[in-house]
Amino acid sequence: MTDLSPLALPFPDLPPVAGVRLGIARAGYKAWDRADLTYAAFDEGTVVAGVTTQSLCPSPEVEWCRAALVLGHARALVVNAGNSNAFTGHRGRAAVEAIAARVAGTTGCRPSDVFVASTGVIGVPLPIDRAEAGIDAVLAAPPASWADAAATIMTTDTFPKGAVTHAIVDGRRVTLIGIVKGSGMIAPDMATMLGFVFTDCAITSPLLQAMLAEANATTFSCITVDGDTSTSDTVLAFATGQAGNAPLDSDEAPAADAFRAALIDLCRMLAQAVVRDGEGASKFVTIAVTGAKSNASARRIGLSIANSPLVKTAIAGEDANWGRVVMAVGKAGEPAERDLLSIRFGDTQVATAGMAVEGYDEAPVAAHLTGREIEIGVDIGLGDGAATVWTCDLTHGYIAINADYRS
């Protein structure tokens, strides 16, 4: 097993969410002695929202979820770890259909109420017999904890990831819980590899969908580890309605803003946890871009910096080479003016007006780069657009993990 990330966070104490029951089992998708199938059952009336990868080579699970999301309701979730079932043709589709049918047949719901996600090696069909045996085992298993579920969905992750937030809605304290997995193949074009949000808030599916998409835009879609978008990226949000609040049904509803803020905060914590577990990562990097033509432009510039191997390796080597940041801004394909550009590392301004700051002293920047938490600020000088992107450094550890991934 890969050593624990030096940026790892302890798993939080997560309370139960009314209307959600968890289970785990060992289906045996890989030659490992651990649970690899996670199951969540939801009370009748649970609504669902989701965002999925924009990859043009999505997995059958992604396609299944997209079709089921249109209906807006859910009774179960199955997550397989160790096999992504992506690029597997009709055999992959048959596996997803078999999983949904097995759950529906034993619980009395419709197959379209069952959401399925898988993560792991691409190109290997998910074995239907193991999946069905795993479902039978998990339905007979004792209840599992959030920590159990978060650990079971992991692949190359080094620590389980979860978060909790709360909001007051209609005088009721509603709970939002999230678990996420992801470590490599992280450059989401919508969301991270696999993430799941659970809440007892009563809310309509269309409003939950709108809020999740909004939250995703500034959280999951603002992280990158290696610049590669997964075929399986999926984030799903399930709302059981068991908190007893008057259902939120529009942006104008009382407390809609409070719930939205709690959801964004939850997604941000989950997204940042993925970066902290980036394969081989030793430093957590925050890149704040201001002064761009638009927020979207600022995000693209931030991701250009965050995805640059030259920037990431300089940070790994604790090299204050701010010229690589200039390079990454220039190649982003977004409006930028060399003589308006300003760059800082930590609290130290290193460049402005197209050149190094007069009398620039590299010592405080070098000292900043020895830490685990790195901050880079870039002001484009053209407008009011702003975005924050999170990434990690690129080390020999990333190469070692991915050179040996299939073994």
Per-residue confidence band for 406, with pLDDT thresholds at 50, 70 and 90: low
Neighbours of 252 (CB within 10 A): 8
Annotated ligand binding at 312? The verdict is no
- Which token pair is 262? 């709690």
Amino acid at 50: G
Q: Is 192 annotated as a binding residue?
A: yes
335/180 Cα distance (integer angstroms): 34
- pLDDT digit string (tens) for 119-129? 998 999 999 99
Top CATH class of 20-276 equals alpha beta
The pLDDT value recorded for residue 22 is 98
Q: What is the pLDDT of residues 20-33, one digit of tens each?
A: 999 999 999 998 99
Spatial contact of 163 and 270, defined as CB atoms under 8 Å apart: yes
What integer pLDDT is reported at residue 269 of this predicted model? Answer: 98
Query: Mind listing the pLDDT tens digit for each residue in 142-170?
Result: 999 999 999 999 998 999 999 999 999 99
CATH code, residues 284-403: 3.10.20.340
**Contact between residue 60 and residue 88 where contact means Cβ atoms under 8 Å apart:** yes
Amino acid at 329: V
Give tens-digit pLDDT for 46-100.
999 999 998 899 999 999 999 999 999 999 999 999 999 999 999 999 999 999 9
Strands 355-356 and 284-292: unpaired
For residue range 246-260, what is the model confidence (pLDDT) as tens digits? 999 999 998 999 999
Q: Which of 203, 228, 242, 303 is nearest to 53 (CA)?
A: 228
Higher-confidence position of 393 and 405: 393
Confidence bin at 398 (pLDDT 50/70/90): confident
The separation between the first and the last C-alpha atoms of the chain, rounded to the nearest angstrom, is 12
Q: Residue holding tokens 């209906």?
A: 71
Total residues found in the chain within this entry: 407
CATH 3.10.20.340 in the chain is located at 284-403
Q: Does 390 have pLDDT greater than 90?
A: yes
Note whether 156 and 5 are within 8 A (CB): no
pTM score, two decimals?
0.95
Which one of 52, 175, 192, 395 is the catalytic residue? 192
- The answer to whether the beta carbons of residues 39 and 23 sit under 8 Å apart is yes
CB count in 10 Å sphere of residue 201: 27
pLDDT band at residue 192 under the 50/70/90 scheme? low
Is 60 exceeded by the pLDDT of residue 237?
yes
Side-chain-facing half-sphere of 156: CA atoms under 13 Å: 27
> Comparing C-alpha atoms, which of 117, 277, 290, 300 is closest to residue 217?
300
Per the annotation, the verdict on 107 as an active-site residue is no
Question: 3-state DSSP call for residue 325?
Answer: helix
The pLDDT value recorded for residue 402 is 80
Is 59 marked as a binding-site residue?
no
Question: Which of the 8 DSSP states describes residue 228?
Answer: -
Contact 176, 166 (CB under 8 A): yes
Mean pLDDT of the chain, nearest integer: 95
DSSP class of 11: P
Q: Tell whether 155 is in a known binding site.
A: yes
| Tokens read off for 15 | 């309370």
Strand ranges, E, within 132-203:
161-169, 172-181, 194-199
Q: What is the pLDDT of residues 335-382, one digit of tens each?
A: 999 999 999 999 999 999 989 999 999 999 999 999 999 999 999 999
Q: 225: closest CA among 4, 1, 5, 3?
A: 5
Sorted by sequence, the CB contacts under 8 Å of residue 38 that are 6+ apart come out as 22, 23, 24, 77, 78, 79, 81, 138, 144, 149, 152, 153
Q: Report how far residue 100's alpha carbon sits from residue 180's, in angstroms, rounded to the nearest whole number.
A: 22
Q: Answer yes or no: is 181 a known binding residue.
A: yes
pLDDT at 403 over 90: no
Rounded distance between C-alpha atoms, residue 22 and residue 10, angstroms:
21
pLDDT of residue 259: 98
- Portion of the chain with pLDDT greater than 70, in percent: 98
Per-residue tokens: 247: 């259902």
Per-residue pLDDT for 198 more than 80?
yes
Residues of the chain with CATH 3.60.70.12: 20-276
